[in-house]
Structure 1
């Protein structure tokens, strides 16, 4: 079956002028040695990392997208290497096109309208919307916790133009209110999504902290940095995730802790602690800080979790919404 035959049967014709660096094939059924990216769209089978495979799939999908299309929403966030919270399985591909441009209807490909005339920003040879527009689109779907994780990461990578963000937040476009709340709670010093969650936990519990605080011994010599230092105390609070379990990072942490001696008290927190055992952790911290328990703090934190993709219910609501918009979300199994 040739691509022209495929077009006569209702498949999308390949857009002219679109580069095809992954050798994708449109309109021909290929099985052995090929990966099905979408209905009638295949590319050679490869064995790369999850990120590398995503990049190859997006290059292949460009063959059925309008030339002016740009990736956006969570797709563009992943393309930029931003930290994200827990993603649902079979995430659709998000893209945007100018008004009046034909939008191909394909399972798993969700289009929205481009706003303004700013050129796309290229990442890995693929076009994406500017960072502020990506975040605004995400803000219409995701919770504040999800947004803060992404904003922290984008700031850490230098992807956000603060002046453009300020202008966007002064507008009345849909999603601005949620994005503004997340922007005010963000901090570009976080070096991982787990650190962002840990800082938000402390904020919800009214515990003032300094992110990436410089630690010094009794002589004033610098001995390292901490994810969080509780202001006014010698309490060092850190996220115990993959970053701190890395072999090289373990060695750095051990050298730092030997240098600290007993002047600081380190406490480690896992994602399970923060999401599933927050009451236990809150009571422990209240005892350490010598203050009374306030149930409102815990309710505030649980509300953040409930609105985020760490919540099974919230994640399912998103999947249902996207499924209604694009039909079958798992485009690789679409007939």
Structure 2
């Protein structure tokens, strides 16, 4: 799993169980008081994560000056007093600290997915975030910006991305809106465009299954009967055809096109793990934090 650190393969176990075994093995070589952090800690806490590469280093925060140096392991120094959690017997840094460390590497879109998930699970709130956001530590500016636009109602990374696209297009929305007609529940929409009867939703891979597709068709008929219009969007739409969506939104709202809005979105995508340039930037940053051995080839 790491250079010089091995454990028996257990393909019969779930992805979560294998991840816990990896961390348990890694904990054997860590100094006392070490805590898992960054995307490692976030995954341990069950947060939704952005489009991470297949091989991601393990992230640990340690107070000991003697930090282990291994390919695939990034150790950050604990310089501030912070609480922590124990999840499945493994030490995890405080959620607000996890977000701050992630903010130093990831783009706004990537971080927004983590923030939304942490808020939804009740792991962070304004009181917990205040000491971090009021500090001048690295990453605070990005974290504060993303925190200000958080939405704990988002149920998936795709929903967060769709909402952020609407924000970039300056289209006001409400999240997870219940559509009720004559006292009868019709549907819960990912996004309702404010002041309209238009429902915008993220369609992920799960919607392609036959059983799900049949349910979706029945749901769409009920929405149409309630005088609402549903529009579904995919990740490909958001990443590769944003200009088409911008024109659609502008026509819907009866306003002129502003290329500035499109530039804002493309800049956000370009700085994130959802673009080749963003992935290269982040991966190179992580690579420089390890020794010269190629950690991306480790299991």
Aligned length: 296
Map of 1:204 onto structure 2: 168
Map of 2:205 onto structure 1: 242
TM-score of the aligned structures, taking structure 2 as reference length:
0.93
Map of 2:237 onto structure 1: 273
Map of 1:283 onto structure 2: 247
Within 5 A, what are the aligned runs for 1:99-114? Answer: 100-114=64-78
CA distance in 2, matches of 1:332, 1:313: 20
| Per-residue Cα deviation, 1:85-140 (whole angstroms, up to 9, x for no partner) | 11123211110111x44211111111111133334311222111111000000111
CA distance in 2, matches of 1:313, 1:124: 36
CA RMSD of aligned residues (A): 1.9
Bigger radius of gyration: 1
Could you tell me which of 148, 152, 159 is aligned with 1:188? 152
Distance 1:81 1:329, change over 3 A: farther
**Higher mean displacement: 284-293 or 135-144:** 284-293
Are 2:56 and 2:296, in contact at CA under 8 Å, matched by a contact in 1? no
| 2:231 match: secondary structure | strand
Q: Which has the higher contact order (CA 8 A, sep 6+)?
A: 2
Map of 1:317 onto structure 2: 281
Are 2:154 and 2:175, in contact at CA under 8 Å, matched by a contact in 1? yes
CA distance in 2, matches of 1:332, 1:68: 29
Are 2:85 and 2:94, in contact at CA under 8 Å, matched by a contact in 1? yes
Deviant stretches of 4+, over 6 Å: none
Unmatched 5+ stretches in structure 2 = none
Could you tell me which of 91, 109, 114 is aligned with 2:56? 91
| Per-residue Cα deviation, 1:7-39 (whole angstroms, up to 9, x for no partner) | xxxxxxxxxxxxxxxxxxxxxxxxxxxxxx223
Map of 1:169 onto structure 2: 133
| Per-residue Cα deviation, 1:210-233 (whole angstroms, up to 9, x for no partner) | 00011122x242212000000111
Deviation of 1:81 after TM superposition, in Å, equals 1.6
Are 1:92 and 1:329, in contact at CA under 8 Å, matched by a contact in 2? no
Could you tell me which of 123, 126, 130 is aligned with 1:159? 123
Unmatched 5+ stretches in structure 1 = 1-36
